[in-house]
Amino acid sequence: MLPKAMFSRTLSTSTSALRMNIVVILSGGMDSTTLLYHHLRNGDTVNALSIDYGQKHKKEIDFAKKTCAKLNIDHRVADLSGITDLIDSSALTGIGDVPEGHYADDSMKATVVPNRNMIMMAVAIGWAINEGFDGVSYGAHFGDHAIYPDCRTEFADAMDRVAGLCDYEPVSIYRPFITLTKDEICAIGDSLGVDWGDTWSCYNGRDAHCGKCGTCVERIEAFKLAKVEDPTAYES
Amino acid sequence: MLPKAMFSRTLSTSTSALRMNIVVILSGGMDSTTLLYHHLRNGDTVNALSIDYGQKHKKEIDFAKKTCAKLNIDHRVADLSGITDLIDSSALTGIGDVPEGHYADDSMKATVVPNRNMIMMAVAIGWAINEGFDGVSYGAHFGDHAIYPDCRTEFADAMDRVAGLCDYEPVSIYRPFITLTKDEICAIGDSLGVDWGDTWSCYNGRDAHCGKCGTCVERIEAFKLAKVEDPTAYES
């Protein structure tokens, strides 16, 4: 779990009495990395799951690995690259270019990967059942709602319900950031000691963050609004 | 789709006015193969999806392939063998022996694969969205309810709800056999012209059906109760 010094520092702000065993879906971005720290701060036992679904920016998984190695978390990478051809209508998995612009623009719909979150959660729920864990947590936030149907409250509620019925013991779906904005998550992550240099957002997945795709624009804006120093080296 | 002769023969019994585009989850067993014929009889456009999740009896997929080749169906095999270690608490995916006995015995709980149906459906829904299809259909039946939580009506209802929320356009989950017994499905399959020699049930996946595992016992019983000739060669 957390290195001792960080653990005692972060636990001091804990407000949760109920400790859980949770599989955190960890992309390696700002939100899911903050989510990991959030559950550790709460004293939860955390396993982390990253998914290789053939995304162009699969270097994000290296960042997830780095964070988990640092925090001594049991981290697995589910290799779903064998299904990429079934979900290749997205610019993140198919032949189209990743669109540039604001993350709330209509053009960003090209970055929706068909049923990505249900696929990731289904695997995470399977692992949670396998380990006798209580739940799965994912980092959907308020800013995602404009574009991503599978980040909306209604979807998360319905996932929680079906996860409660898929096995003998119910599994819960946690989504503590679903009503928060990304800059609020950035502020939380900063207070929890997240090392932002260990996170990756850019959909293009080149050497440096491009600074122009929807998720880069969102990253830049989040740091700015949260008044948190952005250590990211952008191409532009 | 169906070869012409069979198509006209089976269409003559069609009762459905509404034709759909459906991804059928096809294990290669009796139920899902009958389900495929059922949707073709209804005039639906059908794609079929089989899943390699590291099951010991993955030879079932060869039977699914054979059926789809015969019926000229677009059939894909999703390779999820990379997640087998996450769901290895089942005797079908881990190191335990496949239990023998009646399929409704408590010992059959060892054959429950953690969240298998949600994982399969999540991928199938992703493919359906990718293709602009209306829905996904799976062959859960009444006899499954005793052991498999993810074959129960409540689970299927909840899956239908979440599938309706995961993308911009809703996807439906069809489960036309969920209130039928396996022998009723066998009778339906027989009337639709299913070639039972093209189906595989046995969880052991050896050269011949073992005749002793839960799914073999269920297969034998279904043919007997439906008064349909069983062409299967059993070990015992």
Task: Categorize the per-residue pLDDT at B143 as very low, low, confident or very high, splitting at 50, 70 and 90.
Answer: confident
Task: Categorize the per-residue pLDDT at B102 as very low, low, confident or very high, splitting at 50, 70 and 90.
Answer: confident
Which candidate from A118, A123, A165 shows the least CB-CB separation from B155? A165
Q: Output A91 or B8, whichever has higher pLDDT.
A: A91
ipTM confidence: 0.89
Tell me if chain A has a CB within 8 Å of the CB of B165: yes
Chain A residues inside the 8 Å CB shell of B164: 158
Contact check, Cβ <8 Å, A149/B168: yes
pLDDT at B101 over 80: yes
Q: How far apart are CA B210 and CA B100, in angstroms?
A: 9
Closest CA to B106 of B140, B142, B153, B148: B148
Question: Of chain A residues 120-159, which have a CB less than 8 A from chain B?
Answer: 121-123, 125-127, 129-130, 149-150, 152, 154-155, 158-159
Q: Which superfamily, per CATH, for A4-12+19-226? A: HUPs (3.40.50.620)
Q: Do B57 and B210 touch, CB atoms closer than 8 A? A: no
Question: Of chain B residues 5-44, which have a CB less than 8 A from chain A?
Answer: none
Q: How does pLDDT run across A133-171, given as a tens digit for each residue? A: 999 999 999 988 888 899 999 999 999 999 999 999 999
Contact check, Cβ <8 Å, B82/A78: yes
Mean pLDDT of B205-218: 94
Chain A residues inside the 8 Å CB shell of B114: 125-127, 129-130, 167
Integer CA distances (angstroms), B82 to A81, B85, B166, in order: 9, 8, 24
Three-state DSSP state, A29 = coil
CA-based nearest residue in chain B for residue A93: B130
Q: How does pLDDT run across A104-126, given as a tens digit for each residue? A: 888 888 888 899 999 999 999 99
Tell me if chain B has a CB within 8 Å of the CB of A78: yes
Q: Output A205 or B24, whichever has higher pLDDT.
A: B24
Query: Best residue in B113, B150, B153, B162 to probe A by mutation, most A CBs within 10 Å?
Result: B162
Q: How far apart are CA B53 and CA A215, in angstroms?
A: 32
Mean pLDDT of B88-92: 85
Q: How does pLDDT run across B48-60, given as a tens digit for each residue? A: 999 998 888 899 9
Work out whether the CA dihedral A39, A41, A47, A52 comes out positive or negative: positive
Contact check, Cβ <8 Å, A149/B166: yes
Q: Do B20 and B44 touch, CB atoms closer than 8 A? A: yes
Q: How does pLDDT run across A20-40, given as a tens digit for each residue? A: 999 999 999 999 999 999 999
Closest CA to B123 of A26, A54, A83, A129: A83
Contact check, Cβ <8 Å, A88/B130: yes
Contact check, Cβ <8 Å, B80/A85: no
Task: Categorize the per-residue pLDDT at B17 as very low, low, confident or very high, splitting at 50, 70 and 90.
Answer: low
Q: Angle B182-192/B30-41 helices, nearest 10 degrees?
A: 50
Q: pLDDT value at position B109?
A: 84
Q: How far apart are CA B211 and CA B216, in angstroms?
A: 5
Q: pLDDT value at position A172?
A: 97
Q: How far apart are CA A201 and CA A203, in angstroms?
A: 6
pLDDT at A9 over 80: no
Tell me which residue has tokens 């972060």.
Answer: A10
Q: How far apart are CA B218 and CA B99, in angstroms?
A: 13
Q: pLDDT value at position B40?
A: 97
Q: Output B18 or A81, whichever has higher pLDDT.
A: A81
The residues pairing with B50 across neighbouring beta strands, listed in sequence order, are B77
What backbone torsions phi and psi does residue B91 show, to the nearest 5 degrees?
-65, -15
Q: Do A87 and B126 touch, CB atoms closer than 8 A? A: yes
Residues ≥6 apart with Cβ < 8 Å to B90: B96, B110, B111, B112, B113, B114
Which candidate from B87, B166, B167 shows the least CB-CB separation from A130? B87
CA B231 from centroid of its chain's CA atoms: 19
Mean pLDDT of B84-92: 87
- The Cα of A18 is separated from the nearest Cα of chain B by a number of Å equal to 25
Q: pTM of the entire structure?
A: 0.90
Q: Output B83 or A93, whichever has higher pLDDT.
A: B83
Q: Do A93 and A129 touch, CB atoms closer than 8 A? A: no
